[in-house]
Amino acid sequence: MDNTIPILLVPGLVSSPRIFAPIVPALWRHGPVTVANHIREDNIGAIARQLLAEAPPRFALAGHSMGGYIAFEIMRQAPERVAKLALIDTQARPDTPEASERRRASIARTRAGGLHDLIDELFPLLVHPSRTGDAGLRQLIHDMADDVRAEGFINNQTAIMTRTDSRPTMAAIRCPTLVLTGDQDLLIPNTNSKEMAEGIAGAKLVIIPDCGHCPQPERPQATADALVEWLRI
């Protein structure tokens, strides 16, 4: 019997399909894989509507970082279409005023042509401390910035600033849910992942050791294993 299901992967801020490339072969065996284009709108609600218009009738949904914010909105707009949910290094909380102020500053710098300088400054927060010297990972982030381009980055940042607090709606999620995070995510604390796992009935929490904010390229085998187990539920 065919138990495959379409899989929709939603990238994070300044991320393109490249972020999922190390794990797609493992997921592909369990259903056709699509990586969402999340850079065309500057509002989470509009992004979710656009992705739903392009998605299969029913699918497994995995969102990384900003992709998790979009996944929560998809769950609010069309929960009946999501068979399974994976939340990767993300959170249910809204932006803080301090974070929004930093985003406005990064938008101004990007408009002035400073996107790649920003990426270099952000890189140590995106990976495990032991990987800050990894030239391949650093190049990956720069390549994704070229994919997204300044306009996409600005759209992403604008959307993130005005996202909804998803904590009040977590209890309504009923599909099998995986919450996955790196043990040293320097952008989103593990406590926020635990909060989501505790707030969603039956959710499974997986904390990957020796890993930062980007588990797909940092710990691809462990990430793929966790997601494959989720797809088999």
Task: Flag whether pLDDT at 93 surpasses 50.
Answer: yes
Kindly give the pairing relationship between strand 7-10 and strand 82-88: unpaired
Condensed to tens digits (0 to 9), the pLDDT of residues 48-71 reads: 999 999 999 999 999 999 999 999
pLDDT at 62: 99
Extents of the domains making up the chain: 1-233
- Give the model confidence (pLDDT) of 123-144 as tens digits: 999 999 999 999 999 999 999 9
Widest CA span of the chain, in angstroms?
Answer: 55
Q: What is the pLDDT of residues 152-187, one digit of tens each?
A: 999 999 999 999 999 999 999 999 999 999 999 999
Instruction: Note whether 76 and 169 are within 8 A (CB).
Output: yes
Which residue's entry shows tokens 């850079």?
A: 39
pLDDT bracket for residue 3 (50, 70, 90): confident
Q: What percent of the chain has pLDDT over 70?
A: 99
For residue 149, the one-letter residue type is R
pLDDT, position 48? 98
* CATH code for the part of the protein at 1-233: 3.40.50.1820
For residue 107, give both structure tokens.
């938008």
pLDDT at residue 61, rounded to an integer: 98
